[in-house]
Amino acid sequence: MNLTNRVAVITGASRGLGAGIAQAAYDQGMSLVLCSRSAPVLATGARVRTLELDVSDPDAVDAVAREATSHFGHVDLWVNNAGLLEPMGPLRSATAPALRQHFDTNVLGVALGCRAFIRILHDTDRRGVLLNISSGAARKPYSGWAAYCAGKAAVDRMSEAIALEEPDRLKVHAVAPGLIDTRMQALIREHGVDSFPNAERFRKTHADGDLVPPREAGDALIALAFDPAAARNEVCIDLRDR
């Protein structure tokens, strides 16, 4: 694929899957607006703008959208990737501030990103691709992940509703990316069976070398967005089903 002159906004681009998506998109020739609270994986340059962003801040999300259109003129792809897993453990142990931060990031943050991108597409009279990074936990409950399962299920349903609202503007997918070798996976492995009964299975997946490198997942997501050979019709997709 030659994606020169295509523009992407990627949230949570400082490490992990977001960094893998950013590197895959950059190597395909795309221009990028990368944002996270800490420094993104690629530095500012001719094809890269970097911005500090907390995705739960509505004004900051809108500022990212303005920066993208003022600098590059349009946006073809928006990836709502930023997310967190905590609080882990039974819901009875979770504090209200931790729950609020979780849903502010994983649900409100995605909604604000979707809204900003859809407004850009209407303002510029263009079509675009929206990828919301979901999880297998959207469809399957895990003890110890009540907030995470609920938030990712919300992302799936939000994406399906947006697909109905914007059929002329958007190709939208909520993507469960598989098990990716990131800091989030390292955090899972630190937990005991009392707070996360499935922890041993995740430790085994890591020990067996079965975690997917972030760059490999990034390549698959960019292909899903732009390669007709990788196109899928359904909104909610699990990359492991390919």
Ligand X SMILES: NC(=O)c1ccc[n+]([C@@H]2O[C@H](COP(=O)([O-])OP(=O)(O)OC[C@H]3O[C@@H](n4cnc5c(N)ncnc54)[C@H](OP(=O)(O)O)[C@@H]3O)[C@@H](O)[C@H]2O)c1
- What angle (nearest 5°) sits at the alpha carbon of residue 9, between those of residues 68 and 4? 85
Tell me, by CB under 6 A, how many residues bind ligand X: 28
- Kindly state whether residue 180 participates in binding ligand X, applying the rule CB under 6 A: yes
What amino acid occupies position 212? Answer: V
Burial of 65 (0-12, 13-18, 19+ CB in 10 A): buried
Strands (E), the chain: 7-11, 31-36, 48-52, 77-80, 128-133, 170-176, 236-238
CA-nearest of 21, 80, 38 to 55 is 80
Q: In the 8-state DSSP scheme, what is residue 13?
A: -
- Kindly state whether residue 222 participates in binding ligand X, applying the rule CB under 6 A: no
- When the beta carbons of 169 and 175 are compared against ligand X, the nearer one is 175
- Kindly state whether residue 15 participates in binding ligand X, applying the rule CB under 6 A: yes
Rounded-to-integer distance, Cα 229 and Cα 139, Å: 26
Phi, psi of 217 (to 5 degrees): -65, -35
- When the beta carbons of 11 and 28 are compared against ligand X, the nearer one is 11
- Kindly state whether residue 11 participates in binding ligand X, applying the rule CB under 6 A: yes
Residue 148 annotated as catalytic = yes
Considering the complex, what minimum distance in angstroms separates the CB of residue 166 from ligand X?
A: 22
Window contacting ligand X (CB under 6 A); options: 42-50, 121-129, 178-186, 228-236: 178-186
- Kindly state whether residue 48 participates in binding ligand X, applying the rule CB under 6 A: no
Window contacting ligand X (CB under 6 A); options: 8-16, 68-76, 166-174, 228-236: 8-16
Q: How far is CA 104 from CA 82, 153, 155, 176, in A?
A: 11, 15, 12, 20
Considering the complex, what minimum distance in angstroms separates the CB of residue 19 from ligand X?
A: 7
Considering the complex, what minimum distance in angstroms separates the CB of residue 86 from ligand X?
A: 10
Window contacting ligand X (CB under 6 A); options: 67-75, 80-88, 163-171, 228-236: 80-88
Considering the complex, what minimum distance in angstroms separates the CB of residue 54 from ligand X?
A: 4
Per CB under 6 A, which of residues 84..103 are in contact with ligand X?
84
Selected catalytic residue, list 72, 117, 148, 226: 148
Rounded-to-integer distance, Cα 135 and Cα 155, Å: 9
Residues tagged active-site: 148
